[in-house]
Amino acid sequence: MEHATAWHHKQRLYRNHFVAGPGHDRWDALKALCDRGLMRQSQGSELSGGDSVFVVTEEGLAALLSKGEGGR
């Protein structure tokens, strides 16, 4: 989630997406975050090369905030 949001970037919520498809080394972790409601998965498009687009939810952003200051 930190990578998806560029959490440590100087601008708050610099971005909010992570593109991955089955076989990606973080696929299982991304799916687990979706199962927990911390991210949501959208079907891929031509723009994402057909891979899924994962976005951090409000609950996920709250979890990042609870980890400590970041995403200034």
CATH number of the CATH domain containing 24: 1.10.10
22 belongs to a structural domain: yes
72 belongs to a structural domain: no
Band of pLDDT at residue 67, cut at 50, 70 and 90 = confident
Give every CB contact of residue 30 below 8 A, 6+ residues apart in sequence: 18, 20, 24, 39, 41, 52, 54
57 belongs to a structural domain: yes
Bigger pLDDT: 67 vs 27: 27
Count of domains in the chain? 1
Range of the domain at 49: 2-67
59 belongs to a structural domain: yes
pLDDT in tens, 9-57: 565 666 889 999 999 999 999 999 999 999 999 999 999 999 999 999 9
39 belongs to a structural domain: yes
pLDDT at residue number 6: 67
53 belongs to a structural domain: yes
Write down the pTM of the prediction: 0.79
